[in-house]
Amino acid sequence: MKNSFWKTTLAVIVGMFFYSILSTAMWMLIMVNIMITGTQSKQIPRNAYLKLNFSRPIQDKVLVQDFSSFSNQGPVSLVKIIRAIEFASHDPHIKGLLINTRTVNGDWAQTEEIRRAIKEFKTSGKPVIAFSDVYDQKAYYLATVADKIYLVPSGNIIWKGLAAQIFYYKNLLDKLGIKPILIRHGEYKSAGEPFVKDHISPENREQYKLLLTRLWENVINATSATRHLNKDTLNSLAEHLALHLGSDAVKSGLVDAQIYYDQLLDTLRSRAMLSPGKKLKFVDINKYASSAVKIPQTSRNKIAIVFAQGNIVDVPTNLNINTPQILGSRYAQLLKKLRDDPNIKAIVLRVNSPGGSALASERIWRQVKLTSQVKPVIVSMGGVAASGGYYISCAANKIVADSSTITGSIGVFGLLFDLERLVTDKLHINPEVVKTNKNADMGNLFKPMNETKKQFIRTAIEAIYDRFISHVAEGRDLDKDYVDSIGRGRVWAAVDAYRLGLVDTLGNLQLALDIAAKQANLTNYSIVEYPRQKTLLETLMKQDFNVKTDLLKTNLPEINRLMSMADLLKQKSHIWTLMPFMIDIR
């Protein structure tokens, strides 16, 4: 007995000893990594090209710092990218831009924002060159603003038009013995459709066909303008998959020439007016953004940019450390704090959200409304500002949408699952219920839902939808019946949303800032961003991550979206203002 005790004690002591050594080593590694990164980031060489590669995930603002930031795999900030490009236009160390990316790992609106920043950079007179072995459609669209587009001789361009793929799960759920119950207002409100159907509905096909058409028209129009190519020709090339080889891209005018990397270096030296023997230097956009770009905060008058990105939730979830979420209570408190701060003269609410909880959306909407009565609140819509994302936007003084924004989806739905067959037929479990009243087991997933319970949910959904369209009608100064006619859950492209009166103008985040400054009568102001980014230390101390779901992450967008949907269903609310976001537009 004594030997067992001392063996156990010794094992605990040894374990604690090694744990302390490993912990100390980990923290030393972190600090060394930080110091190395900091030291390297300050070394901006002269006569350099700023190298743009966007293979890492792009978020409007990165709110959490984690280990991936040291391995060049974590998300990067759109705002930092844009500011870095703007800063580089005035930086004497930077001689030009090299767009060197196969893809843009962000949405179409983020691609549009970066493209617009590059276009503005060109007014400095510095060269912009694009070079890659492969361009997907977003990468090529970004490259079309360059002075010259080069492709390696064995490379190719993907040019095929846009498609959205939606997975339907009804047959799988039938086999599992799971019966989904969908109650919705609006025939276009299709977020829950994949669970109750095995194919796309005519309404959903109609709205996405129009949405994709509008997004593709934007790509075609912008490409035609910068490459001086006929729109019909560009469409025909996509329609017939005519770009079999890189040489086809040159013949059609999409690419200027096919060259090798050493030839590219000679071209860049010549453009920068460097001697042939001069070594060419490159600076990574992410390193440059974190080292060279500093925003001077000289004025006490401030405009706050509040980044609302991700699903709107009642309680935080830990789907993934790098998956941003909009916690209703937190954002409501933040908006109240900014409303009461006398130094904050205006607020730009940057919305990039497909929506989520109806209750959380209402809480944020209320604070937007109250704040807009005290100081200007301007919404800048990112890639998606739909359903709950539009709900929290509609009370703003002005709404600015990017030309590639997906918005609208004014509708409500409830989604529950009847698991009776799963537990009884598949798992052979018999759940029994004892209750005081007939419907006391409301919300029980293991017993069929009767009509009384369905009507209870249906009444709540109708009330929320009526409140939703009332908010839109009031905020946008539109007739309520008209809002209902363009609502019913229908998703709109930005150009159509502008035509319908759901947004005020098309433009980027900078335009929203300009409008905010004008409405607040500001000529000199500082910019402050919220929420503040959590440091690596804060992330580790709070354990604000979930290793299991990180390990489950895949490169299949639909699997990740399905995990995100499952995570949302853990919320207390079963009524959602959520767009049909489980799509992949490519």
pLDDT at 45: 83
DSSP annotation of 532: P
Q: Is 333 helix (H, G, I), strand (E, B) or coil?
A: helix
Q: d(Cα 474, Cα 482) in Å, to the nearest integer? A: 12
pLDDT at 576: 64
378 pLDDT band, cuts 50/70/90, is very high
Contact of 360 with 326, CB cutoff 8 Å = yes
571 pLDDT band, cuts 50/70/90, is low
pLDDT at 549: 45
387 is catalytic: yes
Residues 70-92: tens digit of each pLDDT: 556 788 999 999 999 999 999 99
Say yes or no: domain 45-159+243-291 is CATH 3.90.226.10: yes
Fold identical between 45-159+243-291 and 302-585? Answer: yes
- CB count, 10 Å around CB of 409? 32
pLDDT at 583 over 60: no
Q: d(Cα 444, Cα 440) in Å, to the nearest integer? A: 9
Q: Which of 23-27, 79-83, 196-200 has the lowest mean pLDDT?
A: 23-27
Top-confidence residue, 583 or 227: 227
Q: Which of 150-159, 279-288, 463-472 has the lowest mean pLDDT?
A: 279-288
pLDDT at 19 over 70: no
Catalytic residue, candidates 387, 393, 403, 404: 387
Task: Give me the percent of the chain exceeding a pLDDT of 70.
Answer: 80
Residues 123-160: tens digit of each pLDDT: 999 999 999 999 999 999 999 999 999 999 999 999 99
DSSP annotation of 448: P
pLDDT at 273 over 90: no
Q: d(Cα 570, Cα 325) in Å, to the nearest integer? A: 14
Residue 542 vs residues 64, 207, 536: alpha-carbon distances, Å:
12, 43, 10
190 pLDDT band, cuts 50/70/90, is confident
pLDDT at 406 over 90: yes
Task: Give me the percent of the chain exceeding a pLDDT of 90.
Answer: 63
Tokens 């956009």 appear where? 285
pLDDT at 556 over 80: no
- The domain spans of the chain are 45-159+243-291, 302-585
Residues 43-61: tens digit of each pLDDT: 678 889 999 999 999 999 9
pLDDT at 293: 67
559 pLDDT band, cuts 50/70/90, is low
Q: Where are the beta strands (DSSP E) in 189-270?
A: 257-258
Query: For strand 164-166 and strand 583-585, is the pairing parallel, antiparallel, or unpaired?
Result: antiparallel
Q: Which of 10-24, 166-180, 309-323, 417-431 has the lowest mean pLDDT?
A: 10-24
Top-confidence residue, 277 or 170: 170
pLDDT at 78: 95
Q: Which of 364-373, 423-432, 466-475 has the lowest mean pLDDT?
A: 423-432
Top-confidence residue, 377 or 567: 377
Q: d(Cα 182, Cα 112) in Å, to the nearest integer? A: 36
CATH class, 302-585 region: alpha beta
106 pLDDT band, cuts 50/70/90, is very high
The two tokens of residue 427 are 């798992």
Contact of 242 with 252, CB cutoff 8 Å = yes
Q: d(Cα 304, Cα 496) in Å, to the nearest integer? A: 29
pLDDT at 39 over 50: no
Tell me what the mean pLDDT of segment 196-206 comes to.
93
Tell me what the mean pLDDT of segment 529-558 comes to.
55
DSSP string for residues in 358-369: HHHHHHHHHHHH
Contact of 401 with 498, CB cutoff 8 Å = yes
Tell me what the mean pLDDT of segment 179-186 comes to.
88
148 is catalytic: no
Tokens 């399905």 appear where? 562
DSSP string for residues in 486-530: H-TT-EEEHHHHHHHTSSSEE--HHHHHHHHHHHTT-SS-EEEEE
Contact of 133 with 151, CB cutoff 8 Å = yes
Q: d(Cα 430, Cα 424) in Å, to the nearest integer? A: 6
Which amino acid is residue 539, in one-letter code? T
Contact of 103 with 157, CB cutoff 8 Å = no
pLDDT at 40: 40
Q: d(Cα 261, Cα 511) in Å, to the nearest integer? A: 38
Residue 15 vs residues 3, 8, 19: alpha-carbon distances, Å:
18, 10, 6
pLDDT at 554 over 50: no
Q: Which of 93-107, 144-158, 432-446, 560-574 has the lowest mean pLDDT?
A: 560-574
Q: d(Cα 370, Cα 393) in Å, to the nearest integer? A: 13
Tell me what the mean pLDDT of segment 374-379 comes to.
98
Catalytic residue, candidates 95, 189, 369, 453: 189
Q: Which of 115-129, 387-401, 409-423 has the lowest mean pLDDT?
A: 409-423
- Pseudo-torsion of CA 183, 184, 187, 190, nearest 10°? -90
Q: Which of 334-343, 521-530, 544-553, 558-567 has the lowest mean pLDDT?
A: 544-553
pLDDT at 414: 85
pLDDT at 553 over 80: no
Q: Which of 188-192, 316-320, 433-437, 541-545 has the lowest mean pLDDT?
A: 541-545
The two tokens of residue 372 are 């807009």
pLDDT at 546: 45
pLDDT at 7: 52
